[in-house]
Structure 1
Amino acid sequence: MLALALAGCGAGRCGGDASAPMSLEERRALPGVIAFVSERAPQRDVWLVRPSGGESQLTRAPEDEYPVAPSPDGAAMLVVSAAEVGGLHLEQLWLVPLGGGPRVKVTEPRGRARNPSWAPDGSWLVVESDARGFSDVVRQAPRADAEVLELATAREGNFEPSVSPDGTRVVFVSSRDGDPELYVMKADGTDVRRLTHFHREDMVPRWSPDGQWISFLSDREGRTRLYVMKPDGTQLRPVSGSATVGEEREPAWSPDGRKLAFVAASKDTKARIWVVDVAGGEPVALTRGQAVDDQPAWSPEGKHLVFASDRTGDVELFLMRADGSGQTRLTTSQGADWLPRWFIPRKPPSPDAGSP
């Protein structure tokens, strides 16, 4: 769940401080709600919490469930439901209305459906599916009876699709030419173009919200680092410079597309959250100390972050300002809380949300 990570700020600057936690008044002014996984019950469920506190349970299925992404209109949360059936690990997608009412099945329980990415208008999404015995990238409307369009079908495997902010292109990983490399195609599966050419593993491509960059992780330098490039594959470079050592992961774009938050990790059992300006400059360490700090997610206005940390002995959610100050514990359950997703719902979630 939470990987191990990095000591020292290296060549980068150390942000954050021992400042007082954010006041309740400041937290009440923050927009939206945060979806997260909680292990406070026998299985993993999706819960919601406001920045000012106050939690509610969104899913109550017998299977483990995880939040993926809210629908673009903020009316529902897309969740992954995972279960072991007949010795097989199955992953199925559901759309859970936040205003109450029955959930909508998005994919049938055949193999694993994972890494979904929404079209900007919410009318369709792309999904990594191994229903045919190998990983395809498919496109469909958000319901199980919808027609499925196969976009990338190389039998060597196609993974981790991400739809561009304008809905015209999809970037994805494919092993069709040997090593996992990044490719981009039109949203109908045509005009496939290879973007990276290196004999190691490139993975987790994500568009910047403004569509100007694609971020991804790669082990091309012998350790996993965070890179960016233009959508045509040019201007490819690491964003962390010489500031960090060890493995980098969990990249998260700021809403304006100008910054990336990420985690740097190594074997010394410490993890830190960093932020870097994509235009240039050294990364800044937002968290420090002996804790494992992980999974940063931006607030909708881009001025705050939520993250998971084991600094209290259990894994809980914490808030902080975008400069690392005001670090504040948000959840206090008995059982790990992690995988935060911060978004603005169309209307306040109903107590009946997530009903079968």
Structure 2
Amino acid sequence: MPYKGIVILVVCSVLMFISSAYAQVPMASFLSDRTGDDEIHLIYDNGDIKQLTKNKAKVFTPEWSPDGNFIIFDTNVRGEENFDVFMIDLTDPQNPIQKNLTGPPNGPGLKLSGPKWAPAGELRIIVYAAGLPDANGWDIGLITLDPKGKVEDLINITNAGGEAAGQDLEATWSPDGTKIVFESERKKVKERAQFDIFIADVEKRSIGKNQLNLSRHEAADRRARWAPDSQSVVFESKRDGNWEIYTVGIDGKNLTRITENDKTDRNAEWSPGGIIFESQRDGNWEVYKSTPDGQNQVNLSNHEKSDQKPIWSPKGKRILFESKRDGKREIYFMLADGSGMKNLTNHPENDTDARWNPQFELRSVEPQSKYFTTLGHIKRTSLMQNFPNPFNPETWIPYYLA
């Protein structure tokens, strides 16, 4: 019997260690003006919210690194249109470190916006900016960092040869890291520039090569996002008179219209769970989900107030979105079928631009419907990943009470 006490002590110690580690993992980030300008805040799985930034100017476009240890964003703390890219080191969540990557004196000091991390394992960031090397208007640039987080190189991806007039904006990495998709107004229709959807190579030996217009239409096409397999993109187009959702292959073939109604459909995101987007077809903004072929379109949010900007979790099993159902904009959570809806931010000021921590979902449990469990109205149980008991062939599930 003396071994029984030892086993319990060891198991309890492991449980306490895991509980502490999980309590420190942010679920997502969002922007909030609750303290003045828009600042980055973190949402934790126990319901806690922590303000991460406190700058002299608004924060824009925060994005997580694939390993969940860093967040990048742009802001104009230098004033006017002098936007710089900043990085926050969250390796020690209790002591985050903020660093200006691109501002003077150590950075290039250019107007850089919309930073996005390369897929896992690469210290590369895409931005769009005026004033890049060999620039012709706004172009897509690529920042390479050294292992210490300093800017090692900055090159122009989309206008390296000077061939593309007009603006190149809103670039996004393919999941396999070999290409980017972006919108460009290098084409003119009746003497007026019009945006189309383009792709370009970003592999190290072919950066900026094989630029291809995927959408090719007189009407505006914009806001492209990748399919999970990197072989197609989803985008919004006005070619039918109002904004509708389309998909197309990376060879420019197999154009498919996903939505078809006389109201606006936009802000589409594609994941293994399908395509989600916001729609006005019901008289107000709602979050819809569709299969990739446009079938089985379902209203997930189904509320009389505005629900917008849905984003998939990396595995396509959860959704964050913005809602005005409580007055100001709040960040809401729901499962892929629309169940389990919950207000995560619950504050009288505006909360917007939610972004999932890419690592958080790897530490959750199945089934997904058990993610939030409420005990009465007082405490919430956070379930963690199944942990095998080395002293017993059965498996048990550790948890902690918020």
TM-score, structure 1 as length reference? 0.80
Query: Superposition pairs for residues 143-154 of structure 1, below 5 Å?
Result: 145-153=151-159, 154=164
Aligned mates of 1:111, 1:282 — CA distance in 2: 46
Identity %: 25
Establish whether residue 96 from structure 1 lines up as the match of residue 88 from structure 2.
yes
The residue that corresponds to 1:108 in the other structure is 103
The residue that corresponds to 1:58 in the other structure is 52
Aligned mates of 1:332, 1:304 — CA distance in 2: 19
> Could you give the per-residue CA deviations for residues 281-313 of structure 1, whole angstroms, max 9, x where no partner exists?
131111123211111122344222111111111
The residue that corresponds to 1:250 in the other structure is 267
Aligned mates of 2:81, 2:282 — CA distance in 1: 30
Letter in 1 for 2:100: K
The residue that corresponds to 1:71 in the other structure is 65
> Aligned-pair distance for 1:218?
1.2
Structure 1 stretches of 4+ with a deviation exceeding 6 A read none
Aligned with residue 232 of structure 2, among 207, 213, 220: 213
Establish whether residue 162 from structure 1 lines up as the match of residue 161 from structure 2.
no
Letter in 2 for 1:91: F
Query: Superposition pairs for residues 1-356 of structure 1, below 5 Å?
Result: 33-82=27-76, 85=79, 88-98=80-90, 99=92, 100-108=95-103, 112-120=111-119, 121-131=121-131, 134-142=137-145, 145-153=151-159, 154-178=164-188, 179-187=194-202, 188-240=207-259, 242=260, 244-254=261-271, 256=272, 258-265=273-280, 268=283, 270-345=284-359
Aligned mates of 1:318, 1:101 — CA distance in 2: 25
> Aligned-pair distance for 1:83?
5.3
* Residues paired across the two proteins, number: 313
Aligned mates of 1:246, 1:344 — CA distance in 2: 33
> Could you give the per-residue CA deviations for residues 178-198 of structure 1, whole angstroms, max 9, x where no partner exists?
221122221101122222211
Aligned mates of 1:289, 1:267 — CA distance in 2: 10
> Aligned-pair distance for 1:263?
0.4
Q: 1:74 to 1:122 in 2, by over 3 A?
A: farther
CA contact (8 A) 2:223 2:267 kept: no
Q: 1:248 to 1:82 in 2, by over 3 A?
A: farther
Aligned mates of 1:113, 1:236 — CA distance in 2: 33
Q: 1:112 to 1:282 in 2, by over 3 A?
A: farther
CA contact (8 A) 1:208 1:214 kept: yes
Aligned mates of 2:356, 2:303 — CA distance in 1: 25
* Cα root mean square deviation, aligned: 2.6
CA contact (8 A) 2:234 2:269 kept: no
What stretches of structure 1 of length at least 5 have no aligned partner?
A: 1-27, 349-356
Aligned mates of 2:179, 2:220 — CA distance in 1: 22
Letter in 1 for 2:127: V
Letter in 1 for 2:81: H
Letter in 1 for 2:323: S
Aligned mates of 2:227, 2:165 — CA distance in 1: 29
> Could you give the per-residue CA deviations for residues 233-277 of structure 1, whole angstroms, max 9, x where no partner exists?
11111212x3x54212222222x2x51111013795x21000111
Letter in 2 for 1:135: W
- Identify the range of structure 1 (119-128 vs 227-236) with the bigger mean alpha-carbon deviation: 119-128
Which structure has more RCO (C-alpha within 8 Å, separation ≥ 6)? 1
Q: 1:90 to 1:285 in 2, by over 3 A?
A: farther
Letter in 1 for 2:53: T
CA contact (8 A) 1:159 1:172 kept: yes
SS at match of 1:152: coil
The structure in which a higher percent of residues are helix is 2
CA contact (8 A) 2:72 2:116 kept: no
